[in-house]
C-alpha cells in the first residue's frame, strides 16, 4: 500500500513515528494511543524506528539495528580465539579486560543506561537492571566471555522482538492508513488539488477511477461503484446511486464521480474509526493488568531468591566457593526476566484488535476481547440489526372522512423531524415536504412516536401505544397485521394507518446458526409490534423474542438475564438502544446505519452492519484469549524448569538466555499469528 502522509491542524506533515511508535518493553504498551506516543522513559531507539516503515531503506535500517550486535560479536569471537586457539602474549591482564569491555560496550551500555533511567523513575526491578547485574557480576568473577555473550544474545533477541512487533504494527498501520492526504475539488468547474482536511462542507470532490475518497459526502453523479473494504472488511463492490451517502476510505472503481462533501474531515466515519482503534489499547484486559501487577511482585522476589542462593549455602555447604554460587545466582537473575509475559501479552491483544479491524469490527479496548470470548447471551434489536432497516410503505389506509393527501403531507412534515428508517420510508413514499405546513410544539415520545401541533390541532404519528396514551379510539386490531404499523391521529380522532415492511438481512440466518453452534443463547428485543418481532424471530430460529418494548423495558430484560449471572452482549443501532448497550457486558453497535450515540456508547462496532460479524467478534475474542494463555503457560513452564536447574547448578548462562530471550521470541511469534487467521 502506498504510504499516505497525514497533516496536523496547521497543515504540517506529521511523521509516522511521532504518531504511532511502538515501544517493545514493559511500561510502554500504549500502542497507537491518542495519535501520539506515551513513553515510559526508556530509550529504545537502538532498535530503530518502530513505526512499521523503514525510513532509510528496509535492508539498511535492519542492518543498523543489528550493527551494535555485529561489532560485539566480532570482538567476542576474536577474544575467544586469542584465549583458546591463536594465543597472543599481549592478550593478558588489562589488555584482555579492556578488549572484553569493548566487546560488551555496544550491546551492554545501552541496557545499563536503561537500567539507570528505570531506577531514577522508581522502577527498580526492571529487566534492564537484572541483565546489568547478571552480566557485570559475570565480569566480577572473570567470566568475561559469558558476560559478553549473555548481553549479546539478549540484544539480538531484542532486535528480533522489535522486528516482530514492527511487523504486527505495520499490519495494523496498513488497515488504519486509509485516507488520502489530498483531494481534488472543483472550483469554478476547474479541478484544484488541496489537503483533504482543508476541504469544506459543500465542496465538490472529483474522484477519478481508482482514487480513494478523503471525506464523507453525497454522490451527485448518477451512479458509481466503490470498494468499501477500508470500512467494512468486504471487498465486494458497492454501487451507489445519486443522492446516496459515500464515506471516506471508499475507492472509486469505474468512471469519474463527483461527491458533495457533507461532513468535516475530522468528523468522518473513518476518522472516528481511526480514533477508536488508536484508543483501543487504553482499556486493558484483566490478564494484562494482572501480568503487570504480577511482574512488580515477581521480580523483587526473584532478586531476593538470587541473593539467598548466593549467600545461604555458605551456612550449609562444606566446600563453599563464592564465585560458583554467585554464578548460579546470576543465572537465576537472567532467567527471571519477565520479557515474554510483559511483551507478548499486550501484543496478543493488539493482534486481536488488528484481526478484528481487518474484518470490519472495531474493539474499543483489549478488555472487550476477553469479555466477548466469554459471552453466553446475545440480545439484539430487530430493526437495522437483524433486518435491513430499509422500510417501504406497503399499504395506506386513511379514513374517508379525512383528506388522504393532506394527512400524508402533514405526516411527511412531522416525520422529517426524525432520523428513524420509518421516517425515511414515509418521505420516499410521499415525496417532497410541503413547506407551507408549519409545525408547533414538536415532541418525540420515546418508544411511542411523534406529536406536534398543526393549525392549532394535534397531530400524532407513531405506534398504537401512542394512540392509547392519548386515549385515541380506533377500530382495528393491530395484532392481526404482521407488518410494522404507523398509526395517525389528527384533532383527537383516529385518521388511519400505514403498513411498512422491512427485509431480513441476507446473512441474519448465518449469524443465528453460527451463534447457536457456539452455544450462545439469542434474544430479540424490539419496540416494534410483538407479532412482527415473533414472526422474524421464528423465521430465524431465535430463542426468545419480545416486542412492544420501551427503552426502559429493554433495560429490564437485560437486567433479568444478568441477574442469572450470565454474560450479555447487546446489539443495536438506534439512539434508544444506547442505555441498554451501556448496561450490557459488551455493547455492540451496527456502525453503518447506527446512530452516533449508540456507536459512542458501544464497546464493539460492526462497520458493515452484518450480523454474521457478531460470531466473528466472539471467535476473535476466544482465539486471542487462547493465544495469550498459551504464551503465559509457555513462559511459566520454561522459566520454572530452568530456574530449578539454575539454582541446582545444572544450567549455564546459555540456558538462561533461552529461558528469557528465546521464550519471548516464541511468544511474540505466537502472538502475531492471530493476524494471519481467517475468521
Q: Are the beta carbons of 26 and 342 closer than 8 angstroms?
A: yes
- What is the per-residue pLDDT for 466? 93
* Positions in the chain short of pLDDT 70: 1-60, 125, 161, 164-179, 229-237, 268-295, 337-343, 389, 419, 573-578, 591-601, 647, 653-654
Q: Are the beta carbons of 327 and 245 closer than 8 angstroms?
A: no
- What is the per-residue pLDDT for 220? 92
In the chain the first and final C-alpha atoms are separated, in Å, by: 23
C-alpha dihedral over 209, 210, 213, 218, to 10 degrees? 30
pLDDT in tens, 450-479: 999 998 899 999 999 899 999 999 988 888
- What is the per-residue pLDDT for 652? 74
pLDDT in tens, 358-409: 788 888 878 889 999 999 999 998 877 888 867 789 899 999 999 999 999 9
- What is the per-residue pLDDT for 364? 80
Q: Are the beta carbons of 337 and 130 closer than 8 angstroms?
A: yes
Cα dihedral 427, 430, 436, 442 sign? negative
Q: Which residues are within 8 A (CB) of 75 and not within 5 positions of it... i.e. 6 or more apart?
A: 99, 102, 103
Give me the half-sphere count of Cα atoms (radius 13 Å) on the Cβ side of residue 507: 13
381 is catalytic: yes
C-alpha dihedral over 619, 620, 621, 623, to 10 degrees? 90
**In this structure, CATH architecture of domain 392-501:** 3-Layer(aba) Sandwich (3.40)
Q: Which helix (H) or strand (E) holds 597?
A: helix 596-601
Cα(289)–Cα(166) distance, integer angstroms: 23
Query: Among residues 50, 51, 370, 381, which one is catalytic?
Result: 381
Give CA angle at 607 (602, 609), nearest 5°: 95
Tell me how far CA of residue 86 lies from CA of 76, 81, 82, 93, 525, in angstroms: 14, 6, 5, 17, 82
Give strand pairing partners of 363.
604
Q: Please indicate whether the domains covering 182-271 and 392-501 agree at the CATH topology level.
A: no
Cα(452)–Cα(490) distance, integer angstroms: 10
The phi and psi torsions of 588 (rounded to 5 degrees) equal -115, 125
* Locus of grid cell 531514577: 120
What letter would DSSP give residue 373? Answer: H
Cα(615)–Cα(68) distance, integer angstroms: 47
**What does the chain come to in residues?**
679
- What is the per-residue pLDDT for 33? 33
CATH classification code of 361-388+504-607: 3.40.50.1000
Give strand pairing partners of 398.
496
CATH classification code of 182-271: 2.70.150.10
Tell me how far CA of residue 481 lies from CA of 62, 65, 533, in angstroms: 69, 71, 12
Q: Mean pLDDT in the chain? A: 78
* Locus of grid cell 489530498: 182
pLDDT in tens, 623-676: 999 998 998 888 888 878 887 887 677 777 667 777 777 777 788 788 778 877
Give strand pairing partners of 486.
498
- What is the per-residue pLDDT for 90? 87
Q: Which helix (H) or strand (E) holds 624?
A: helix 612-647
Q: Are the beta carbons of 615 and 356 closer than 8 angstroms?
A: no
Cα dihedral 53, 56, 58, 60 sign? negative
Domain spans of the chain? Answer: 13-175+284-351+624-676, 182-271, 361-388+504-607, 392-501
Contacts 24+ apart (CB under 8 A), 476-481: 478/529, 479/529, 479/530, 479/531, 481/529, 481/531
- What is the per-residue pLDDT for 6? 35
Cα(599)–Cα(601) distance, integer angstroms: 5
Cα(445)–Cα(487) distance, integer angstroms: 14
Helix, strand, coil distribution of the chain in percent, nearest 5 = 50, 15, 30
Amino acid at each position: 500500500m502506498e504510504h499516505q502522509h497525514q497533516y496536523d491542524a496547521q497543515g504540517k506533515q506529521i511523521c509516522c513515528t511521532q504518531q504511532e511508535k511502538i515501544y517493545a518493553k514493559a511500561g510502554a504498551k500504549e500502542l497507537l494511543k491518542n495519535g501520539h506516543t506515551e513513553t515510559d522513559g526508556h530509550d529504545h531507539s537502538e532498535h530503530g524506528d518502530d513505526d512499521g516503515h523503514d525510513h532509510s531503506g528496509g535492508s539498511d535500517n535492519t542492518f543498523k539495528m543489528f550493527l551494535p550486535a555485529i561489532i560485539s560479536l566480532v570482538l567476542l569471537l576474536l577474544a575467544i580465539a586469542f584465549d583458546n586457539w591463536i594465543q597472543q602474549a599481549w592478550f593478558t591482564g588489562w589488555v584482555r579486560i579492556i578488549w572484553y569491555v569493548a566487546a560488551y560496550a555496544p550491546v551492554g551500555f545501552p541496557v545499563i543506561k536503561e537500567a539507570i533511567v528505570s531506577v531514577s523513575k522508581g522502577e527498580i526491578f526492571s529487566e534492564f537492571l537484572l541483565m546489568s547485574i547478571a552480566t557485570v557480576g559475570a565480569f566480577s568473577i572473570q567470566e568475561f566471555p559469558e558476560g559478553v555473550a549473555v548481553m549479546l544474545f539478549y540484544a539480538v533477541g531484542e532486535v528480533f522482538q522489535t522486528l516482530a512487533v514492527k511487523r504486527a504494527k505495520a499490519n495494523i498501520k496498513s488497515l488504519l492508513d486509509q485516507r488520502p492526504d489530498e483531494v481534488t475539488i472543483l472550483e469554478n468547474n476547474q479541478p484544484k488539488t488541496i489537503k483533504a482536511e482543508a476541504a469544506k462542507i459543500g465542496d465538490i470532490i472529483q474522484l477519478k477511477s481508482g482514487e480513494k475518497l478523503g471525506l464523507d459526502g453525497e454522490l451527485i453523479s448518477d451512479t458509481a461503484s466503490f470498494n468499501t473494504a477500508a470500512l467494512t472488511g468486504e471487498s465486494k463492490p458497492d454501487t451507489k446511486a445519486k443522492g446516496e451517502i459515500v464515506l471516506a476510505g471508499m475507492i472509486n472503481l469505474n468512471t469519474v464521480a463527483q461527491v458533495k462533501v457533507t461532513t468535516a474531515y475530522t468528523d468522518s466515519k473513518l476518522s472516528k474509526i481511526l480514533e477508536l482503534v488508536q484508543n483501543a489499547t487504553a482499556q486493558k484486559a484483566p490478564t494484562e493488568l494482572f501480568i503487570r501487577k504480577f511482574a512488580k511482585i515477581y521480580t523483587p522476589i526473584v532478586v531476593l531468591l538470587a541473593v539467598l542462593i548466593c549467600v545461604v549455602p555458605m551456612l550449609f555447604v562444606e566446600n563453599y566457593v563464592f564465585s560458583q554460587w554467585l554464578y548460579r545466582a546470576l543465572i537465576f537473575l537472567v532467567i527471571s526476566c519477565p520479557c515474554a509475559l510483559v511483551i507478548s501479552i499486550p501484543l496478543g491483544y493488539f493482534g486481536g484488535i488488528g484481526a478484528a479491524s481487518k474484518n470490519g469490527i472495531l474493539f474499543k479496548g483489549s478488555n472487550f476481547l476477553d469479555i466477548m470470548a466469554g459471552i453466553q447471551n446475545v440480545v439484539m434489536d430487530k430493526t437495522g440489526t437483524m433486518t435491513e432497516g430499509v422500510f417501504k410503505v406497503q399499504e395506506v389506509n386513511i379514513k374517508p372522512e379525512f383528506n388522504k393527501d393532506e394527512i400524508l403531507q402533514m405526516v411527511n412534515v412531522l416525520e422529517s423531524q426524525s432520523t428513524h428508517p420509518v421516517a425515511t420510508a414515509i418521505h420516499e413514499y410521499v415525496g417532497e415536504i410541503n413547506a407551507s405546513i408549519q409545525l408547533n410544539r414538536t415532541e418525540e415520545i420515546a418508544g411511542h412516536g411523534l406529536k406536534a401541533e398543526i393549525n392549532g390541532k394535534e397531530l400524532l404519528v407513531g405506534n398504537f401505544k401512542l394512540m392509547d396514551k392519548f386515549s385515541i379510539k380506533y377500530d382495528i386490531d393491530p395484532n392481526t397485521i404482521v407488518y410494522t404499523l404507523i398509526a395517525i391521529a389528527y384533532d383527537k380522532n383516529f385518521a388511519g394507518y400505514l403498513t411498512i415492511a422491512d427485509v431480513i438481512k441476507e446473512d441474519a440466518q448465518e449469524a443465528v446458526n453460527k451463534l447457536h453452534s457456539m452455544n450462545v443463547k439469542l434474544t430479540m428485543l424490539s419496540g416494534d409490534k410483538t407479532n412482527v418481532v415473533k414472526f422474524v424471530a421464528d423465521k430465524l430460529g431465535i430463542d426468545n423474542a419480545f416486542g412492544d418494548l420501551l427503552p426502559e423495558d429493554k433495560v429490564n430484560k437485560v437486567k433479568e438475564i444478568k441477574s442469572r449471572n450470565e454474560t450479555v452482549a447487546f446489539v443495536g443501532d438506534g439512539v434508544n438502544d444506547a442505555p441498554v448497550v451501556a448496561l450490557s457486558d459488551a455493547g455492540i453497535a451496527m456502525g453503518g446505519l447506527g446512530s452516533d450515540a449508540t456507536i459512542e456508547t458501544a464497546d464493539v462496532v460492526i462497520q458493515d452492519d452484518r450480523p454474521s460479524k457478531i460470531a466473528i467478534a466472539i471467535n476473535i475474542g476466544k482465539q486471542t484469549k487462547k493465544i495469550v494463555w498459551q504464551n503465559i503457560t509457555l513462559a511459566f513452564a520454561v522459566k520454572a524448569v530452568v530456574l530449578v536447574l539454575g539454582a541446582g547448578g545444572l544450567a549455564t548462562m546459555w540456558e538462561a538466555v533461552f529461558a528469557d530471550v528465546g521464550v519471548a521470541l516464541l511468544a511474540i511469534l505466537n502472538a502475531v499469528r492471530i493476524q494471519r487467521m481467517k475468521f
